[in-house]
Chain A
Amino acid sequence: MSRPGVGRSYDVVIAGAGMVGAACAEAAAREGLRVLVVEPDLCGGGATAAGMGHLVVMDDSPAQFELTRYSCARWKERRDEFPEQVEFRETGTIWIAADEDEAVAARKKGDLFRAHGVAAEWLDPPTLAECEPDLAPGFAGGLLVAGDAAIYPPRAAQSLLERAQDRGARVVRDAVVGMKDREVLLRAGGRVPAAACVVASGEAARHWLPELPLGVKKGHLLITDRTAHRVRHQLVELGYSRSAHGDELESVAFNAQPRGTRQILLGSSRQVGVTTRDVDWPILRRMVRRGIRFLPGLATIMATRVWTGLRQSTPDSLPLIGEDARRPGVILATGHEGLGVTTSLGTADLVVSIMLGRAPPIRAEPFRPSRFGSPP
């Protein structure tokens, strides 16, 4: 990392070198902008490293569907740009329907996906069992979304940041604490003249922009030892986004991902407003029980590591992407909850279109921070 040159000015300072910040840096540098990335820790060391790295099309809302669909398409177009260590694997996703009601919902999801060019195939129970022989019997079927994929996110973020640096971007170990009169203020005392500042760190946003409607949802993940057990696709229960089991504040849902090493990544949990990073054993217990219910063979295999991550979330579960109405020059790119890795490339394209005054590749309105109104 280098010090920003004294008196040097930038077109854009990016606060945070997580997946989203790194993608924004790369996209801006590709446009020939002068970019400075400010990160107090390691690239991709925060929520980026804690997640599963599932690239997934989601349709909880039309806007989410548009952003995830566009972003997944961008990942696929660009996959050859990434080194082998990013571990891009087209695992596909199977959304598992527990009963007939969920089967109806899954088929509807499939219709929507296909109508927008996303391959989706309904698997009846025998076909599901054939695709995933170790899944417990008795499910009503599953929806296979073959184009979904999985990556190792920290390496992907580093790779994007390296490419930004190849195009002249600079990286400095510091934190952005404010922006005033077209100068970005750094924690160590530096002032960097810049036309814009992209806030791609929930942590930075929380301290500097406390009025933003950002909350935290804590999650747990577990990885198993190598196993002869077979999981071929990323398996997610259909009720995942509705938080199948629990209440609004605390819930678990089944989510399993095969790793290339024959290990299985197992999720997921969601605890609203919890900011401690310790493992919460009771909720982990519920999460693991749920995993065993879907994949009974998990019971006797070994867990080698359990960890937690904090997802930055907004009241409508859509990220904040766009200008901060109250602070000229400040552009937000945060609050992606569990979809920061998936939507990083789409977010970066949106941010660049805003900076350059171009037409956005997808509708930008649903993500505008002003949708929540201005605080008093």
Chain B
Amino acid sequence: MVDLIEARVVVIGSGPAGIAAACAAAESGGRVLLVDGQSEPGGAIWRGAWTGRVPAADPAPVWFDRLRRAPVETAFDTTIVGRVGPHRLLAAREHRSIEIRYDRLILATGARELLLPFPGWTLPGVVGAGALQLLVKNGLPIAGARVAVVGSGPLLPAVAASLRARGASIAVLIEQASWRALARFAGHLMVGHFSKFRQALALKRAIRGTAYRAGCWPRAAVGEDRVRSIVFTDGVHLREEPCDWVACGFGLVPNLELAAMLGCGIRDGRLTVDDHQESTQEGVFGAGELCGVGGVDLALALGRIAGHASVGDRVRAERWMSLRDKHRRLATRLEHTFRLRSELERLCEPETIVCRCEDVPFGSLRGAASARDAKLATRCGMGPCQGRICGPATERLFGWTDRSGRPPLVPIRLDALADPPDS
């Protein structure tokens, strides 16, 4: 028999939304299991803070403390592999298989960075902005290196600031949103969300002296066996800036694979939920970036609502709705401010690689009618990353959506699939 764990409420993902959901469900009297593929809670945003490897930013300490005190069972290093049947998931921990049974399920699977292809983006030295931040946290020496930070969204100055704090010099920060959109957004923050405005000011101070180019976007990363410089444009002029690294990020895309596998409705790239965060599948709730990228505060509010509502405690759930609405308005502003310009869809040359795993160039995808058509003709999205990188890119470039996700949700060791071994 496969190992079995059961709980009334199972929460998948232990970022801010998952932690809030687990605590809220426990507060409302549910037996809760919190599951995460990492070895500690926090999600991508608070990674390393639980064990103190990285200083914990507010409000992480408060939530970690709540989680420690709440009667919540946890299963870390445990990745969801797929669906076994109604109310049953298969998970893996190292070389073991585990079946997870639930009455209510809360998905808090977060989001990942959107990478868009442009000429030269596959050169060594061109990496995801969040990925570079993580590499540096894990010991990659960056002191003295020149980094170009490229893309869009509030993550970019945060990455630039943290790299700078480790001794990197930021060659240039290229933000595709226009100055006008950024100024409007700053005005909105100052009026309605003053603490956020202060955070933004602090970030601005932290990257003082950096060339910040708004209304610009990359045209090519240049180099032979490694990136040497970044070429960018404002639509009129081309400029070139030498650099040792290019850190890219064009915003975040929700991790919808598990939701899709469970048959939950998905619209406009986010999980469809009702006012109490329940998806179109009865008993399956969603919280956090999955329901639309909106940042930590919104994720916490959504987590609380989902947690309470999952065990039928609508009274407590509804207390958080006005806060949710406030943060959602900000999220909508954010989305509007950093909406990707259409020029970014026209950066590829015919030979620019779109699917890195299978070396599929842009030119060979143009004739395809759908993601599946492209897969069959070119293997696009069929490599080791299973379309996690090129899928969101082709969605933007060609309008394809592919929710046909096949298990395992993340790569899993064969001995875990074989567990328990032959007797």
Contacts and interface: CB of A to CB of B under 8 A. Distances in A.
A357 to B, nearest CB: 35
A124 to B, nearest CB: 27
B386 A154 contact: no
25 contacts: A42-B372, A45-B372, A155-B377, A158-B377, A225-B384, A261-B357, A266-B414, A278-B83, A281-B84, A285-B97, A285-B417, A285-B418, A289-B421, A289-B422, A293-B422, A298-B414, A300-B95, A302-B411, A302-B413, A303-B417, A304-B383, A304-B411, A305-B406, A305-B408, A306-B406
A154 B377 contact: yes
B201 interface: no
Looking at chain A's contact residues, the main secondary structure is mixed
Contacts of A45: 372, 376
A279 interface: yes
Interface in A260-317: 261, 263, 266, 278-279, 281, 284-285, 288-289, 291-293, 298-307
B376 A281 contact: no
Nearest to B412: A303
Contacts of A43: 376
Contacts of B370: 42
Contacts of A301: 413-414
B265 interface: no
Contacts of B402: none
Contacts of A303: 408, 411-414, 417
Interface in A239-262: 261
Contact of B407 (A42, A152, A155, A306): A306
Contacts of B415: 292, 299-300
The contact size tier of chain A is 35 or more
B417 A288 contact: yes
A266 B372 CA distance: 22
Interface of A: 42-45, 49, 85, 152, 154-155, 158, 222, 224-226, 261, 263, 266, 278-279, 281, 284-285, 288-289, 291-293, 298-307
B376 A155 contact: yes
B413 A42 contact: no
Given A299-B95, A299-B413, A306-B408, A42 B384 contact: no
A360 to B, nearest CB: 31
B414 A302 contact: yes
Nearest to B92: A303
A85 B368 CA distance: 15
Contacts of B82: 279, 281, 306
A226 B384 contact: yes
Contacts of A266: 414
A277 to B, nearest CB: 10
B378 interface: yes
Interface string B348-371: 000000000110000000000010
A279 B422 CA distance: 20
**Top 9 A-B pairs ranked by shortest CB distance?**
A302-B411, A154-B376, A299-B415, A288-B418, A289-B418, A288-B417, A225-B384, A298-B414, A304-B411
Interface in B380-419: 382-384, 386, 406-408, 411-415, 417-419
Nearest to A306: B407
A302 B412 contact: yes
Nearest to A262: B384
A193 to B, nearest CB: 29
A300 B416 CA distance: 9
Contact of B90 (A44, A281, A288, A291): A281
Nearest to A85: B378
A302 B418 CA distance: 12
B373 interface: yes
B379 interface: yes
Contacts of A226: 384
A297 B421 CA distance: 15
A152 B379 contact: yes
A224 B376 contact: no
Given A281-B90, A304-B411, A263 B379 contact: no
A263 B414 CA distance: 13
Contacts of A158: 376-377
Interface string B67-103: 0000000000000001110000010000101000000
Nearest to A278: B83
Interface in B325-364: 357-358
A307 B379 CA distance: 15
A158 B421 CA distance: 41
B120 to A, nearest CB: 23
Given A305-B408, A307-B406, A299 B373 contact: no
A307 B419 CA distance: 19
Contact of B382 (A284, A299, A305): A305
A307 B375 CA distance: 14
Contacts of A300: 95, 413-415
Interface string B261-295: 00000000000000000000000000000000000
A302 to B, nearest CB: 4
Residue among B83, B407, B408, B414 with the highest chain A CB neighbour number at 10 A: B414
A341 to B, nearest CB: 14
